[in-house]
Amino acid sequence: MLSNNPFSLLTEIIPAIAMQSFIIAMVLLIIGGTIIQMIHHKNLTYFFNNAKKAKLAATKKLGFGEKASIVAKTTVVDIGTTSELGFGKRRLAHVLGMYGTILFWLSSAVLVFCYTGADKANSETWSMLWHLGAILTCLGGFWFWFFLRVDVSAEAHPWYRIIKADLFVLALLACATFGLLWSFTQFNDQKSLSFLFFILFVASNLILFGGVYWSKFAHMFYKPGAAIQKNLAEADGSRDNLPPPADAPEQFGLGIKREEPKHY
């Protein structure tokens, strides 16, 4: 099953151009939803105004090489490994989900555009990467959903409590889960179930990419920008208009020893 390209067999009822058009439409939904959210919430205005304030408050002028080094280090360390979560289960779950999702989306596009069609050969490597990405997404996502969410692990809310902010993670998990089930039933020639899971797979993608404006999807673009701006502000001395750290030792009292931090 892992080496099976589920999109290839789908061409018996849906032409490859229709699948390619669907992926392009999903990309346009991401761009459109993100832009509309930025305009409505004025996120871009905030970042520009904050950057202007930081420039005026800077005590050191950074050269191009220094800025490039900070951006590269932030991308690799802070963004690439979600270092703000510290070492622990939450960070591991986020890394699994993040790289699983990237692999799942990338391999989906490669399979549909390069290996799906009447005259296209199958790629076992990309098919296995598609399944691996979906599995990693489910592993990190369900681990986070059932055990690591703040309102579940710290605030005693039940795992099945759903709010609008959960739209992104639930739609993403639905995509990966229904994708795996669709591939499994298709491989085992269970046509009725395969068609059902395919419809659910398409529907979950529409909810995921069509709901960018209402979900936390766009945060994937905001957080890297915020992390880069923060590190640049620390390097040029502006520190986002915050005071420098005190020389006095940190005093938290004995209560800090009662429970290990969970890096929320």
Which pLDDT score is estimated for 139? Answer: 93
Q: Please report, for residues 186, 199, 200, 227, the alpha-carbon distance to residue 46 in angstroms, rounded to integers and kept in the order given.
A: 48, 40, 38, 14
Which pLDDT score is estimated for 155? Answer: 63
The answer, as to whether pTM is greater than 0.85, is: no
State the fold for domain 6-237. Fumarate Reductase Cytochrome B subunit (1.20.950)
Category of 183 on φ-ψ map: left (φ > 0), alpha (ψ -120 to 50) or beta: alpha
Which pLDDT score is estimated for 13? Answer: 84
Which pLDDT score is estimated for 243? Answer: 67
What is the tens place of the pLDDT at every residue in 58-79? 777 777 788 888 888 888 877 7
The pLDDT of 212-218, averaged and rounded, is: 76
pLDDT at 263 over 60: no
The alpha carbon dihedral of 82, 85, 87, 89 has a sign of negative
Confidence of residue 175 (pLDDT cuts 50, 70, 90): very high
pLDDT at 177 over 60: yes
What's the chain's average pLDDT?
A: 81
Confidence of residue 249 (pLDDT cuts 50, 70, 90): low
The alpha carbon dihedral of 81, 85, 87, 92 has a sign of negative
263 in Cβ contact with 88 (< 8 Å) = yes
